[in-house]
Structure 1
Amino acid sequence: MIDEKCPFNVKFDTSAQLHTLEALMALMIVTGIIIFTVQATSLTPLTSSTANAHIEAQLQILAQDMLTVLDHSQSGHNSSLKEDILDWDGDEYAWNSIDYVSKNNNNLENSSTADLLESVIVSKGIAHNVQFAVINDARAVMTLDYIYNGEPSDNAVTVSRRVLLSNSDISNSSQFQYYTGIADADTNTDFYNLIDVEITLWRM
């Protein structure tokens, strides 16, 4: 029975059915586009941000492990890291594709830090800096370059380890301060200075 109040018969109106079909098709197309867009822009292990985060995490673990190895010491002996600080001549060294060389063309010798970096880091093509943060005469913190290979990139990671120096560790404190710039932070006690060794790693 046809409702006389209705201006048209919905049941037999083919144009209404076509409009409904077109609306369903349009909805399916829009839904498909949304799904495709989301899948195309979603983060995967190969995308830049995720890859960078993964690389940074690996570099941080690597730097921390190296400092742990260097700072390990047997009872009654200084660690290799501490010995490298005590043996430092104050020069700034850089890797020249063959060896660590200073601006005065001196090679960095008898350095466990340099040997470990060369065998682990250099072979992987990882850029690196090693710096010493110390307390100066004005009770302020200053940074000294031990190994410097350039300005780190935005994805660089820095890991630090503190090394305590005592007066008993240094045979000639005035000579040590003259060459390294590391002063005696407390002349009234056996405490000499606290060295914050920082290793910065980044991919080229």
Structure 2
Amino acid sequence: MAFKFRTFWKSKEAQINTLEGIIAATIMIGVLVFAVQATSLTPLTSSTANAHVEAQLNSIGQDIMTSLDHSAYKQDSNLKKAVIGWNGDQYVWNSTHYVSTDDENLTLSGSVQEILEFTVTENGIAHNLQYTFTTLDGDIRTESYIYNGDPSDNAVIISRKVLISNTDLTNATAFSSDTGIPDVDAATDFYNIIDVKLTMWRM
């Protein structure tokens, strides 16, 4: 009887040990799976540092565009003023000013220049500001207002749409000739919609 009891107890103890081993192995596998999923990085994905930089740039860009796109009652926003006041020139940052690529003596001024110099150039952030619009053929065309090179893979893009009417322009014919932005509906006051894109990246 004592032998049978001892055998029974050893059998139960072995089963408990086996069960504990299975539970421990399951927990370890679960921890490993969670850790791999939480920190998995491959050559095709951004590093944690890059993701943090992108988040910062996106936040800065959103603040810039929101500020420029704000308009007081019955007044145009600074973003719209920049669009309708554009003469087609492309500007680049030369470490001190935004200068025209056609005439280095011509520098950019206004709200766009001020906010970009204060928040972007002083912090060493490369950036482009481009206008995308519809042509008379229905194609999409992009022209650079400010261009500082090709963006990196971790660049962020923030955009705002600006509605232009004929009544917004002093001379619609001259504006179209200078900028290449056409009046897509000559039968109405609607002129075009400009998608203003701010692209930012760390060098």
What range describes the TM-score normalised by the shorter chain of this pair?
Answer: 0.7 to 0.9
Whether contact under 8 Å (1:176, 1:182) holds in the other structure is: yes
Q: Following the alignment from structure 2 to structure 1, what is the Cα–Cα distance between the partners of residues 88 and 112?
A: 15
Distance in 2 of aligned mates of 1:63 and 1:185: 29
CA shift for structure 1 position 106? 4.2
Q: Which 5+ residue runs of structure 1 have no aligned equivalent? A: 1-30
Q: What SS does the corresponding residue of 2:151 show, helix, strand or coil?
A: coil
The superposition leaves residues 88-141 of structure 1 with CA deviations (integer Å, 9 ceiling, x where unpaired) of 110110000010011121433332111110011001000000000011111111
Aligned partner of 1:70 in structure 2 is 68
In structure 1, the partner of 2:24 is none
Q: Give the Cα–Cα distance (whole angstroms) in 1 for the partners of residues 138 and 40 of structure 2.
A: 47
Moved over 2 A (4+): 106-111
- Please give the alpha-carbon distance, in whole angstroms, between the structure 1 residues aligned to 2:108 and 2:55: 31
Residue identity matched to 2:87: D
Contact 1:43 1:50 in 2 (8 A): no
Q: CA deviation at 1:169?
A: 0.1
| Deviation digits for residues 19-45 of structure 1 (CA, Å, limit 9, x no counterpart) | xxxxxxxxxxxx9xxx9xx89xx579x
**Cα deviations across residues 148-195 of structure 1 (Å, max 9, x unaligned)?**
000000110111100000011001101011111111011111110000
Alpha-carbon spacing, 1:106–1:181, altered in 2? closer, same or farther (3 Å): farther
Letter in 1 for 2:139: A
State how far apart, in whole Å, the 1-side matches of 2:129 and 2:48 are: 27
Closer, same or farther: CA 143–106 of 1 in aligned 2, 3 Å: farther
For residues 67 and 140 of structure 1, do their structure 2 counterparts lie closer, same or farther at Cα, with a shift above 3 Å needed? same
The aligned residue for residue 140 of structure 1 is: 139
User: Is the 8 Å Cα contact of residues 108 and 114 (structure 1) preserved in structure 2?
Assistant: no
Structure 2 distance, partners of 1:107, 1:119, is 20
Structure 1 length-normalised TM: 0.76
Work out the number of aligned pairs and report it: 165
Are residues 1:57 and 2:45 paired?
no
SS in 1 for 2:71: coil
Higher helix share: 2
Provide the rounded CA distance (Å) in 1 between the counterparts of 2:182 and 2:165.
Answer: 11
Task: Within 5 Å, give how 1:40-51 maps onto structure 2.
Answer: 49-51=47-49
Q: Which consecutive unaligned segments of at least 5 residues does structure 2 have?
A: 1-27
In structure 2, relative to structure 1, the CA distance for the partners of 1:157 and 1:83 (3 Å cut) is same
